[in-house]
Structure 1
Amino acid sequence: MTAAVLLCAVRVQAAPLSEAPGKFGFEPPSRRRAAIVIIADGFSLRQAREPGGPTLHSFLDSASIGIANSRTADGGDRLLSAISTLGAGRRMAARQWAGYGLRGDEIIGSERARDIYLRRTGLKADVSSGEILCLGYPELEIMGKDSPYQGRPGLIGESLRLAGLAAAAVGNSDAGEAMARPAVILAMDASGRVTGGAVGPEANALDPGAPFGISCDVFRMAQAVADALTDLQVSLVAVDFGDMNRLARYFPNLSAEARLEQVSECYARLDRLFGAIFEVVGPPSDDVAYMLVSPGEASTLGPVAIAGWQYAAGMLSSDTTRREGLVANLDFAATLLEGLGVPEAWPNDGSPMIGLRARDGQDVAGELADMAESLQTAASSRVPVLGTFIGMVVVAVFAVLAVALLGASTPALLVGATRFLLLAVAVQPLLLLLAPIFRVEGIGATLFFIAIGSAAISAALLRAFPSCMRSSAGIAFATGVAILADALSGGALASTSLLGHSAIVGARYYGIGNELMGALIGSVAISLAALGEAARRGGGTASYGPSETLAVVAIVMGVISILLGHSGIGANFGGMVTAAVVASFMGRMVVSRSGLSRRAKVGAVLAIVLLAIALCAGMAWIDALGARSSHIGRAWRLLIERSRGGMDGGDEIAFPRGDDSGSGPAATSAGLDRLAVIVWRKLGMNMRLLRYTDWTRVLLAFLVSLTVLAGKPFGLFRRFRDDYPALHGSLLGALAGALAALIVNDSGVVACATVAMMPTLTLLGYVVDEIVAQRA
């Protein structure tokens, strides 16, 4: 079942609530902001439309709704890791001990919680205040530091503490002997403390018909919320509706009929909890906002909804995703803290969510439920479909090598099959990009579409054109144009294609991902060179030689670099650098072919390199200055801010206790540390991908083929250089770019393989053409 978290972010004023103070008598002070977070692990938009009660339905009908990426760091408990990620604004992992949140005087085993806390943290708990302690905080903090995401728990609670405010926690997901209190994780500060609340058995009721014999006592929980909010410092109450989590754990023990009954009862009880809290706080309004966000399973998208505040009925979005209806779990903390008007204690990776008003008659919840299922279908299809494509690429590469080894003695059937397979493989990236236009979904449907489409196009090209190399270059041109056209028109295909970025994987949500980035750079480089060769061989432009062709390719690749670095088009820093490297390499080749003196050539090459560096730095700087910076601009701005020790405009970064990196050498060190984190994370991702991704097979196949073809027994690489010098130069430039992509991208092996793909396939097309000519 999907996990869900309901955040009721509330700005409370005396006027509307004093007229109806509620059955528990809570009188909110004037102009006070507060937040109530209800964790309901298992909430589903589609299920809520059936068994959900009137209060829940009314909330959803008036809310801005979205679906959220749910990824966390690896190696922890699902629910606790999800809540830790929500609270940190960065991907976190949490193990079982993180769920142990107890009052200092509570007994666990044979010891008091405060004694265990003291032994683990070295800090004394204030027992008289009734504060709640997260006994697993030290382990959670270490796991965050050891993670490539460098998350730090306690962001929400620490931000409130630094602002002179506090948080409370209510409810639990305890089941039998297992303790799980995620509300404490969400609300705690940087030392693992929560001001107060009720997270023990007092929040539950004995219920023989419920999973594990207990259920949430919604009226006691609502009373605990009201009691917590009477403390003028408490601005956040995290409420864990643990019944859904207990049901998920108990599910294997239930019959089909019992499952339906228990699910209905859970939603009915959640509806009653909503009603009880509405009586205390009031319904959604300009002053009271209720927000639903579901972190979900790692492979799902969880629902998010906000009613009240400035959020009207409609869909949610954020600068993290830039997609209507889609947000990220990383946005939770940023949204909550902005709503409370509290500065963030330290940087995080999220952005505040924004509401987009619904169209008349729009079924927002239904559309988003369908959208989530479609994106999950695409995510489940991605590995098998791309795995099949990668397998075909490898087979095609080694088939060409077999033809090269056999030479003129190659059987005609093998030559024909190799030509057919080579073109079929070359056109598949284009078909994968275009598949969403034809509403192709699912593994079987996608594989059928790709197989039929690539076979038909390959057969048509072989019938119409004798040269496999020129057909490959033509396919590359069409692929490059399609990727560019999609990027310039908003990237709708890139956001839904299996070769684009996945909302569930969450590596990116907009722009051009590494697969399409690599295909774009390689396709443009090789196809423009092919056009130049065609112009040169056409005889009408005798003065248009290889140098002119390479100069055009260099200029165009510079433009591609700008487009890839643009925050509203490509938003791909690694791609920008890769294209700049290709452009620089091409420029160096043009300079080396010129009649300049040696010193002038060195100066010209140096100028080209400096221009490329300035272009990349300038694009990142411009992005950082924008009102809606991409992840590139935010990373650049963070590096600068940490080095300066503050933010532009005089706003200082609020560092947590014990961190004196606010100025001077310490601030510079902090900026360098952040840069080191980014580099280390990219290197770590590359090492993992080299071992596990199928794209490594493509990369190895290309390396083997290029090595063999460059050998003396064949001399095909040398003949390719002599026959098509511009194509040869573009191939080398693309390979240099592929090497750069391997270094500067966090999924470098993917980028490297895709940059090299179209140029290598074009070279292999030349090899097959040579064998056909020998046979003739």
Structure 2
Amino acid sequence: MRWALFLLVASTLWWAAPAVAATDDAAPGRVAFIGVPGLHWDDVTPEAAPNLWRLAGQSDLGSVSVKTLGTVACPYDGWLTVSAGLRSAFGQRCGLPPEPERRGEGAVIPGFVDILAKRDGGYTGTLGSAVQAAGECTTAVGRGAALALGDRQGHVDVYAPDPASLADWSRCRVLAVDVDELIRPYLGVDGKLSREPEAITPEERLKAVRAADAEVGAALAKLPAGTQVVLAGNGDHGSVPHLRVAMWKHDGARGAILGTSSTRREDIVILTDITTTVLTAAGIPVPPTVIGIAWAPGHVAGLDAGVAELREADLKATTVRSATGVFFTVFATITVFFYAIAYFVLSRRKRPGAIGPVALGLAAVPVSTYLVNLVPWVQGTYPIIPLVCAVVAIDLAIVGLAVGGPWRRDPLGPPAVVATFTGLVLVADLLTGTNLQFNSLMGYTAVVGGRYYGLANIPFALLATGVLMTTAMAADRLVRRGRRRAAVWVVTGLGVAAMLLAGWPGVGSDFGGVIAFVPGIAVTALLVAGRKVSILKLGAFCVLGGVAVSIIAVLDHLRPPASQTHLGRFVAQVIDGTFWPMIMRKLGAMLNTMLSPNLMPIVIAGLAFLVFAILRPEKISAGVVPRAFARTPMLRAGLIGALVSGVIGMLVNDSGTAVLSMAVATAVPLVLYAGIRSEPAVTGTGDGAPGERVVAGKI
């Protein structure tokens, strides 16, 4: 009843207000979009870029995540995305857009038919066509600007190759300027990006920044008074993605930090938001296929403090991204080594020693990577060092809590602490804006751009595992007391509550997570109830999960566009037929990560140890795993339910093996600890009398 009341209140609050408030300060009128691919907040200083610094002082400020379809957003793809209002990529050329062909005072993009034919380029020209449909003309300065404002035929009304060549800056209400000086030093002889960031000396970079600043200054000087300026670093260079500069100069600009409902972050916008922001600023209707939301100023920070805040955000994101691969490799190596040592020690009937506490430590690592964001680890020249040290310290603290409390005498006590702690931390994070998952080693970052809010795939696996293992261990006590029906309700009630949080728009917003969570809850509940689970039932549970998340997505779609999450926008894409590119990208991402060398060893080692410990217990683990199931039968139900959610989550989410690997990495060590601490169970039958063995349902 308490959970139902809580969810009712939470959903009412969610329905009543969007995540990021819109602004009415910017009246529709003339707008200029200035794209400076590669522009970083470190470049914007009073000494190196006085024009940009002056513009920043007159604008609201933010960071733009330039993610398109690849790891690095090519400038070409950045301009395509602004043109289409959807993440787009040409797929063959990582460099500058093509040079337009002059047609009178306008121009046409060469090869535009080829761009439209691409799977991810079919909506190119949406921005320019929307402007022309409103009876307005388009002016483009530079090749990227022409690509952004070209209509569905690739035509722009007025074109100039550079600011000095444009005579009339007031003719069209919508204007775009391409400032590509920061990209040219990284181009090879073939015109494609080939040089890495470290290949450019600081002097060369400073020279490029000054050239870009001069061109921005030339454009600003010629803009008619009252023109709104939307400036963004709409592309990357090299192999390292960054958050790029976003500025919006309008009548109400006051040094606020820019956010958007697309990211539900107060300081991060995305490329597709630029399309909507430009059209909204010009008072032009936004086409329904455009998925972005107009930028919205948030808290006022001022110039110096705002720039410092945005620089730190990029440093935090890039530090996490650069460390993630190494972190997972080390974690997988330690995990495999641990299982090998556990096999060696247990199979030889040696005293387990530290095997139990180390198992708890491994299971607590994931939640530690989220809790670390409660401390200010972004310090010094090498922030990775305090990050890793803090994760280790938090992990040790969780293990100390688990083995040091009064519950330590119960074999299920310490595992229950770790599982419950994992579930509670993730639930609390969902209810407070997912700030712990954001920029975490097992979460997501804006520079990667796969997700900006809600429950990511790895946290979903940890939430599902934590909840199912916790409820199963609680159910074990209830079953032993003869309260099997109450045990089933505990698993079902808490599981469904967590599932709703995982999928609810603006909270978890996890489409695939709901599909995978429902079967895990159902399987665990059936096994606790002493029922069998068939393949047919399992398939029905998967369908039920799909129905549940579809209902949630449709409800989200019924809200105003500015308040919708990606769930509601996906429904809109299904309606207008633009959803296939996104589906194919997610399918490709899932297949690419299915055999991840960083994650698959965790799955293989954990499941191999578990399976062989059950099939050949005397040779593999001295019977500790069967002993755990005999001593606490419902633990087996929770483990099976968690693995079911992990396997289905692996198939329906784009992170592939990552989902199953985290379910295994958390659940199996907890079972191992319970087995080490359990004494052989007294045989017998019954429905839960103290001292009797209670057998869970069979699958």
Q: By the TM > 0.5 criterion, same fold?
A: yes
Query: 1:699 Cα shift?
Result: 2.1
CA distance 1:446–1:416, change in 2 (3 Å): farther
Give 1:241's match in structure 2, choosing from 165, 173, 179: 179
Give 1:318's match in structure 2, choosing from 242, 257, 260: 260
CA distance 1:32–1:519, change in 2 (3 Å): closer
Q: Does 1:50 align with 2:46?
A: yes
Give 1:426's match in structure 2, choosing from 348, 352, 363: 363
Deviations along 1:683-729, one digit per CA (max 9) or x if unpaired, are 21111011335222222223322332332555766554443221111
2:422–2:463 Cα contact (<8 Å) kept:
yes
CA distance 1:138–1:732, change in 2 (3 Å): same
1:51–1:264 Cα contact (<8 Å) kept:
no
Give the Cα separation in 1 of the matches to 2:573 and 2:73. 30
CA distance 1:74–1:767, change in 2 (3 Å): same
Give the Cα separation in 1 of the matches to 2:200 and 2:539. 73
Q: Does 1:293 align with 2:226?
A: no
Please give the residue correspondences for 1:307-346 in structure 2 after superposition, counting only pairs within 5 Å: 307-345=249-287
Give 1:269's match in structure 2, choosing from 186, 200, 214: 214
Query: 1:503 corresponds to which residue?
Result: 446
Deviations along 1:274-297, one digit per CA (max 9) or x if unpaired, are 44224xx11xx5xx3111111242
Give the Cα separation in 1 of the matches to 2:49 and 2:96. 33
CA distance 1:446–1:395, change in 2 (3 Å): farther
Query: 1:754 Cα shift?
Result: 2.1
2:150–2:156 Cα contact (<8 Å) kept:
yes
What is the aligned residue count? Answer: 633
Deviations along 1:450-502, one digit per CA (max 9) or x if unpaired, are 33443465467556636665422321111111111122122221223222221
CA distance 1:676–1:472, change in 2 (3 Å): same
Query: 1:494 corresponds to which residue?
Result: 437
SS of 2:319 mapped into structure 1: helix
Give the Cα separation in 1 of the matches to 2:582 and 2:206. 49
Q: Does 1:99 align with 2:100?
A: no
Query: 1:445 Cα shift?
Result: 2.3
1:159–1:344 Cα contact (<8 Å) kept:
yes
Query: 2:695 corresponds to which residue?
Result: none
CA distance 1:372–1:416, change in 2 (3 Å): same
Give 2:602's match in structure 1, choosing from 692, 695, 698: 698
1:735–1:755 Cα contact (<8 Å) kept:
yes
Q: Residue 509 of structure 2 aligns to which amino acid in structure 1?
A: A
Give the Cα separation in 2 of the matches to 1:689 and 1:607. 27
2:64–2:268 Cα contact (<8 Å) kept:
yes
SS of 2:151 mapped into structure 1: coil
CA distance 1:500–1:257, change in 2 (3 Å): closer
Q: Does 1:66 align with 2:62?
A: yes
For structure 2, the 5+ residue unaligned runs are 1-23, 189-194, 682-699
Deviations along 1:725-744, one digit per CA (max 9) or x if unpaired, are 21111211112111221122
SS of 1:101 mapped into structure 2: coil
SS of 2:183 mapped into structure 1: helix
Give the Cα separation in 2 of the matches to 1:535 and 1:576. 27
Q: Does 1:350 align with 2:289?
A: no
Give the Cα separation in 2 of the matches to 1:338 and 1:436. 36
Query: 2:148 corresponds to which residue?
Result: 186
Give the Cα separation in 2 of the matches to 1:726 and 1:42. 55
Say what the alpha-carbon RMSD is for the aligned residues.
3.7
Deviations along 1:252-305, one digit per CA (max 9) or x if unpaired, are 999968547735742652364144224xx11xx5xx311111124261000101
Q: Residue 189 of structure 1 aligns to which amino acid in structure 2?
A: D
Query: 1:37 Cα shift?
Result: 2.7
Matched residues, percent identical?
21
Query: 2:390 corresponds to which residue?
Result: 449
Give the Cα separation in 2 of the matches to 1:381 and 1:740. 28
Deviations along 1:63-109, one digit per CA (max 9) or x if unpaired, are 111101122223998222222223223333344497322335xxxxx
1:553–1:586 Cα contact (<8 Å) kept:
yes
CA distance 1:637–1:584, change in 2 (3 Å): farther
Query: 1:244 Cα shift?
Result: 3.5
2:277–2:293 Cα contact (<8 Å) kept:
yes
1:517–1:575 Cα contact (<8 Å) kept:
yes
Please give the residue correspondences for 1:377-776 in structure 2 after superposition, counting only pairs within 5 Å: 377-404=319-346, 406=347, 409-412=348-351, 415-441=352-378, 442-455=383-396, 457-458=398-399, 461=402, 465=408, 470-534=413-477, 542-545=481-484, 548-589=486-527, 593=531, 614-627=547-560, 628-639=563-574, 641-642=575-576, 670=577, 674=578, 676-692=580-596, 694-712=598-616, 714=618, 719-769=627-677
Query: 1:51 Cα shift?
Result: 2.4
Q: Residue 483 of structure 1 aligns to which amino acid in structure 2?
A: L
Deviations along 1:387-419, one digit per CA (max 9) or x if unpaired, are 322332333334334445x2xx2433xx32432
Give the Cα separation in 1 of the matches to 2:198 and 2:542. 66
Deviations along 1:174-206, one digit per CA (max 9) or x if unpaired, are xxxxxxx2222212122222223122xxx4xxx
Query: 1:368 Cα shift?
Result: 1.4
Give the Cα separation in 2 of the matches to 1:254 and 1:699. 39
Q: Does 1:85 align with 2:81?
A: yes
Q: Residue 78 of structure 1 aligns to which amino acid in structure 2?
A: C
Q: Residue 760 of structure 1 aligns to which amino acid in structure 2?
A: V
Give the Cα separation in 2 of the matches to 1:463 and 1:367. 40
Give the Cα separation in 2 of the matches to 1:395 and 1:469. 24
SS of 1:692 mapped into structure 2: coil
CA distance 1:460–1:340, change in 2 (3 Å): closer
CA distance 1:243–1:735, change in 2 (3 Å): closer
1:584–1:609 Cα contact (<8 Å) kept:
no
Give the Cα separation in 1 of the matches to 2:358 and 2:296. 48
Give the TM-score normalised by the residue count of structure 2. 0.81
1:511–1:568 Cα contact (<8 Å) kept:
yes
CA distance 1:224–1:458, change in 2 (3 Å): same
Query: 2:697 corresponds to which residue?
Result: none
SS of 2:257 mapped into structure 1: strand
Query: 1:176 corresponds to which residue?
Result: none
Q: Residue 768 of structure 1 aligns to which amino acid in structure 2?
A: I
1:141–1:152 Cα contact (<8 Å) kept:
yes
Query: 1:654 corresponds to which residue?
Result: none
Q: Residue 643 of structure 2 aligns to which amino acid in structure 1?
A: L
Q: Residue 158 of structure 1 aligns to which amino acid in structure 2?
A: S
Query: 1:518 Cα shift?
Result: 1.0
Query: 1:157 corresponds to which residue?
Result: 128
**Greater alpha carbon shift after TM alignment, 352-361 vs 681-690:** 352-361
SS of 1:691 mapped into structure 2: coil
Query: 2:20 corresponds to which residue?
Result: none
CA distance 1:463–1:584, change in 2 (3 Å): closer
Q: Residue 681 of structure 1 aligns to which amino acid in structure 2?
A: R
Query: 1:573 Cα shift?
Result: 1.4
Q: Residue 683 of structure 1 aligns to which amino acid in structure 2?
A: L
SS of 1:330 mapped into structure 2: helix
1:555–1:583 Cα contact (<8 Å) kept:
no
Give the Cα separation in 1 of the matches to 2:146 and 2:185. 21
SS of 1:363 mapped into structure 2: helix
Give the Cα separation in 2 of the matches to 1:264 and 1:520. 45
2:99–2:109 Cα contact (<8 Å) kept:
yes
Give the Cα separation in 2 of the matches to 1:504 and 1:378. 10
1:66–1:326 Cα contact (<8 Å) kept:
yes
For structure 1, the 5+ residue unaligned runs are 1-10, 14-30, 105-126, 172-180, 204-217, 643-669
1:591–1:604 Cα contact (<8 Å) kept:
no
Q: Residue 39 of structure 2 aligns to which amino acid in structure 1?
A: F
Q: Residue 391 of structure 2 aligns to which amino acid in structure 1?
A: I
Q: Residue 329 of structure 1 aligns to which amino acid in structure 2?
A: L
Give the Cα separation in 2 of the matches to 1:755 and 1:302. 35
